[in-house]
Amino acid sequence: MELKFARRMDGFEPGIFNVLDDRKNERLAQGKPVYNLSIGTPDFLPEPHIVEALVRAASDPGNYRYSLGETAELTQAVRNWYSWRYGVELAADELMSIYGSQEGLTHVGWALCDPGDVVLVPNPGYPIFEIGPYLCGAECVHYPLLEENNYLPDLEYFDPDLAEKARFMVVSYPANPLCMAAPDGFYPRLIAFAKKYNIVILHDNAYSDIIFDGRVGKSFLAFEGAKEVGVEFNSLSKTYNLTGARVSFVLGNREIVGAFKRLRSQIDYGMFLPVQAAAVAALNGPQDSVERNRAEYQARRDALCGGLRSIGWNVPDSQGSMFVWAPVPEGFSSSVEFCFHLLDRTGLLCTPGSAFGPLGEGHVRFALVRPVPVMDEVVAAVKASGICGGGL
Ligand SMILES: Cc1ncc(COP(=O)(O)O)c(C=O)c1O
């Protein structure tokens, strides 16, 4: 039988990541060191009280039915969380659980746009921002995030014809991969822009708790008028080290949440109850691990960015997120070429900036997923390779 697949599958070639992975495995097979800083999976463990809540709930046979939505305890825990953490009051119908922001951002487009509708996504940006709209046939238009604008969209000079056409715009700070936090003054301007052009804002807030140098991670919903124009995606993945449990939320505009709920009710029977219990324990329980993890990420950032700068590679300090955005040193034709070179010469594996859109070219992304002593080893390996000292 000749199998035929949808044309949309053509956009999902495995490509460069598989090749880099093969090269990494070759090194490991030869007994050579590999420092894998390519993927943003935290190496911290979830707190014991969260695991205990999950295990307790998982040992109750009554918890294996369809949940058909959030439990009352989870809804209340999320409402409390937004109140104490962000100063945002939410009604019960202004939030819904999703299986990770990744899943939510993929599917929300199905509720918001029709094939051919224009959607604005950041460039460089986290790839899922584009994949969701692509799957539902929308036309993704990149808006540039440039260093000279502090990696913020230039709303003042935005093409009005394009803005008129746009159905929604994805915005996310602290930004992956750019590692920039947005100043407070940005959000009122964004909300005014959204109102002027009737554009829904989807704010992805995955990293409000991984933010450095005294900055305070906020919610988009804390700014006046935000609920009128959009929703926020927030995730327990990074703040509570629950990446595999897939616990996230969409919160804000009641009509958008309602429409999305209607759509999801066709495809989803609700989050596994023990995972909901774990989320309640995370949100209602002690919060000291959040600050501990943040401080550890900052120490890793200092070791990596400071260390690389000390050997001549001008890598700026990340303002937030669990990543570092580093310019490719001179002498390389692309971020992919540099990634291979770095892996071969040092064992350090990172992600080429071009994976985040055309404007990501010229940079690579490191994930802060190893402790400080390993970051020191990484810096020593880069130094020994001569990459930053004219030893290309
Ligand atoms: C910007 C951003 N949004 C969303 C996600 C995914 O979050 P979740 O685990 O909730 O799907 C990530 C994960 O790396 C991310 O970097």
Compute the distance from residue 237 Cα to the ligand 1 centre, in Å: 7
Query: What percent of the chain is modeled with pLDDT above 90?
Result: 89
124 half-sphere exposure, CB direction, 13 A CA radius: 24
CA-closest candidate to residue 355, choices 365, 346, 347, 345: 365
Strands of the sheet with 363-367, listed across from one edge: 323-327, 363-367, 351-352
Residues 180 and 150 sit within 8 Å (Cβ to Cβ)? yes
Residues 96 and 250 sit within 8 Å (Cβ to Cβ)? yes
Q: What is the pLDDT of residue 17?
A: 73
On the question of a common fold for 14-43+288-383 and 49-284, the answer reads no
Looking at residues 181-205, what average pLDDT do you find? 97
Q: What is the pLDDT of residue 91?
A: 98
Going by pLDDT thresholds of 50, 70 and 90, the confidence category of residue 392 is: very low
Q: What is the pLDDT of residue 391?
A: 41
Residues 336 and 291 sit within 8 Å (Cβ to Cβ)? no
pLDDT digit string (tens) for 317-355?
999 999 999 999 999 999 999 999 999 999 999 999 999
pLDDT tops 80 at residue 13: no
Q: 3.40.50.300, 3.40.50.1820, 3.30.70.20, 3.40.640.10: which CATH number matches 49-284?
A: 3.40.640.10
Looking at residues 364-386, what average pLDDT do you find? 96
What does pLDDT average to over the chain? 95
Q: What is the pLDDT of residue 67?
A: 97
Q: Which residues are CB-neighbours of 229 under 8 A, at least 6 positions away? A: 191, 194, 195, 199, 200, 201, 253
- Domain borders along the chain are 14-43+288-383, 49-284
322-340: b or e for each residue (b if 16 or more CB lie within 10 Å)? bbbbbbbbeebeebbebbb
- Of 208, 210, 211, 238, the one to substitute when testing ligand 1's pocket (max ligand atoms within 8 A of C-beta) is 238
Q: Locate tokens 């159905």: which residue? A: 167
CA dist., res. 94 & res. 81, Å (int): 14
Looking at residues 35-42, what average pLDDT do you find? 90
pLDDT tops 90 at residue 207: yes
pLDDT digit string (tens) for 213-247?
999 999 999 999 999 999 999 999 999 999 999 99
Q: What are phi and psi of 338, to 5 degrees?
A: -65, -40
pLDDT tops 80 at residue 194: yes
Amino acid at 13: E
Residue 204 in contact with ligand 1 by CB distance below 6 A: yes
Q: Locate tokens 């093969």: which residue? A: 22
Q: What is the pLDDT of residue 161?
A: 95
Q: Which two tokens stand for residue 295?
A: 């401080």
Protein residue closest via CA to atom 13 of ligand 1: 40
**Helix residue ranges per DSSP H, the chain:** 15-29, 48-58, 72-86, 101-112, 128-135, 160-165, 186-197, 226-229, 254-264, 273-284, 288-301, 307-310, 335-346, 372-385
Q: What is the pLDDT of residue 389?
A: 63
Protein residue closest via CA to atom 14 of ligand 1: 40
Compute the distance from residue 126 Cα to the ligand 1 centre, in Å: 8
Is 349 in a helix, a strand, or coil?
Answer: strand
**CATH number 3.40.50.300 is the correct assignment for the domain at 14-43+288-383:** no
Q: What is the pLDDT of residue 41?
A: 87
pLDDT tops 60 at residue 28: yes
Residues 326 and 313 sit within 8 Å (Cβ to Cβ)? yes
> How many Cβ atoms are within 10 Å of 120's Cβ, its own excluded?
26
pLDDT digit string (tens) for 296-319?
999 999 999 999 999 999 999 999
